[in-house]
Amino acid sequence: MYNNHYKYVSEIINQGLEKANLDGVLIYSGHVNNYFLDDMPYAFACNPHFKWMAPITETPHCIIHYKPNEKAKLYLYQPKDYWHSLAKTPEGEWAENFEIISITCKEDVPDFSGLQNHAWIGQIDSCEFDNLKHNPRTYMDYVHWHRAIKTDYEIENIRQANVLALKGHNAAYQCFKKGYSEFECHMAYMLATKHNEYQLPYGNIVAQNENGAVLHYQHMQRFRQKPENIKSFLIDAGCQVNGYASDITRTHAYDENSEFAKMINAVDSMQIAIGKKAVAGTSYIDLHTQAHLMLSEILSDFDVINCDAPTAHDTGLSNVFLPHGLGHYLGLQVHDIGGHQSDEEGNILSPPELHPFLRLTRTLEENNVLTIEPGIYFIDMLLEKAKASDIGQYINWSRVADFKPYGGIRIEDNIVVKKTKSVNLTRG
């Protein structure tokens, strides 16, 4: 699978080079900078262009030198120091596509100053060669556009990242049912997935009760709720396999017979239905709009709003309850790049005015991988604003008061777009 992937990657890079009138590229894995006044570094995150080619995800200071019709050279950073353990020299199928050259220090990096018509792809503060074009736009736009089409190898990695994350989700949910704290649920997730914090594709969101209404809730309460106060659990957490991410959200009610549990089921069914619509040729903006209409139906069925779905959408009322986009591309980055491009030249299709946070505006193509993550939240800040405006009249405030202690609902799966039907990697 990897070899076919490498073939696709090479073709895209070759065409990108041709478009940008370049003879070759140096792709840099990246490095870490230290905190201000400190000798401790930030966590390392590998350049996606680098790990797209080679599944080395935790080694800084590596460089791939790629030229069409030549075997690529991979300069692997293996410093001779006794502070850290060395990156292992890779073996196996994928490594055979590269000539692997060990570099132990800065002086080992070849002198690239004589290279003509080459680009440097990656962080530029470590590139000492003036002759290299830094991240040239034409090349980057071309690659980013085509990187949205995933190979079988990439889809398989994302599938495995789903399988692993679901183990964590299950472990965290079991803890929630026992009344454990947010922090304990988070730790159960980490243990089940065998991930370190720095290996997560993004910081876990582990929220109970009202905290579920904070979209990127970043704390994890250390205390356990009193049993009579436990209401809901929202967990948004993924994993990485070979540098590819999963991004999954589940919401649970503590009382399975509550109105909130019924609302979760309604959002769940709607989420599955909208996921099935992610087929080639569909505009993601349209899907987002359909999701707003379907969620507005649910809000109306549960008596939270008292107008019809088109009114809820057109007046911006549905944005009060769903203030984020339906989803985004997923792959080497949790929010994979290129979602706003309208073509390979890098023209931009901005999100509609009513939905500025939509990260994906493209028309879907076969083998795009994306998330579908509708939600309903009860967010004080937005509700107060709505109350003070015209749309406040459409909201049944007593129902809002009923649901507010539960925070919110988000259900998120990872979907592969196919010609006539989509494949759900999270529920497979």
Which residues lie near Mn ion (CB under 5 A)?
Answer: 247, 371
Nearer to Mn ion, 184 or 247 (CB): 247
Give the whole-angstrom CA distance, residue 236 versus residue 381: 22
Q: Closer to Mn ion at the Cβ: 371 or 422?
A: 371
Q: DSSP strand E in 320-416: where?
A: 369-372, 375-377, 408-410, 413-416
Using alpha carbons, select from 341, 332, 300, 342 the residue that is nearest to residue 318: 300
User: Closest approach of Cβ 234 to Mn ion, in Å?
Assistant: 13
The percent helix, strand, coil of the chain (3-state, each to 5) is 40, 15, 45
Minimum gap (Å) between residue 371 Cβ and Mn ion: 4
Distance between CA atoms of residues 264 and 45, nearest Å = 35
Distance in Å, CB of 168 to Mn ion, minimum: 15
- The residue among 49 and 359 lying less far from Mn ion, judged by its C-beta, is 359
Q: Least distance (Å) from Mn ion to the CB of residue 5?
A: 24
Taking the least distance from each CB to Mn ion, the nearer of 289 and 371 is: 371
Pick between residue 24 and residue 374 the one whose CB is nearest to Mn ion.
374
CB-nearer residue toward Mn ion: 264 or 326? 326
Rounded to the nearest 10°, the torsion over CA 149, 92, 105, 72 is -50
The nearer residue to Mn ion, 215 or 293, going by C-beta atoms, is 215
The residue among 16 and 275 lying less far from Mn ion, judged by its C-beta, is: 275
Beta strands in 78-197 (DSSP E): 98-103, 118-121, 133-134
Q: 379 Cβ partners below 8 Å, 6+ apart?
A: 213, 214, 320, 323, 408
Q: Nearest approach, Cβ of 238 to Mn ion (angstroms)?
A: 8
- Name the helix (H) or strand (E) containing 343: none
Q: What is the smallest separation between the CB atom of 333 and Mn ion, expressed in angstroms?
A: 11
Q: Do the Cβ atoms of 187 and 221 come closer than 8 Å?
A: no
Q: Which residue is nearest to Mn ion (CB)?
A: 247
Residue 23 dihedral angles phi and psi, to the nearest 5°: -95, -20
- Closer to Mn ion by Cβ: residue 162 or 371: 371
DSSP string, 52-90: HHS---S-TT-EEEE-TTSPEEEEEE----SSSPPPPPP
Angstrom distance (rounded) from CA 226 to CA 87:
47
Q: Measuring CA to CA, which residue among 224, 240, 233 is closest to residue 206?
A: 233
Q: How far is the CB of 237 from Mn ion (least distance, A)?
A: 10
CB of 373 to Mn ion, least distance (A): 5
Listed in order, strand segments (DSSP E) in 268-331 are none
For the CB of residue 197, give the shortest distance to Mn ion in the complex, in Å: 18
Instruction: Choose between 318 and 371: whose C-beta lies nearer to Mn ion.
Output: 371
Task: Give least dist CB 363 to Mn ion, A.
Answer: 20
| Sequence-ordered list of residues with C-beta below 8 angstroms from that of 258, at least 6 positions apart, any chain | 231
420: left (phi over 0), alpha (psi -120 to 50) or beta: alpha
Buried b (16+ CB within 10 A) or exposed e, 292-325: bebbbbbbbebebbebebebbbebebbbbbbbbb
C-alpha–C-alpha distance, residues 213 and 291, integer Å: 19
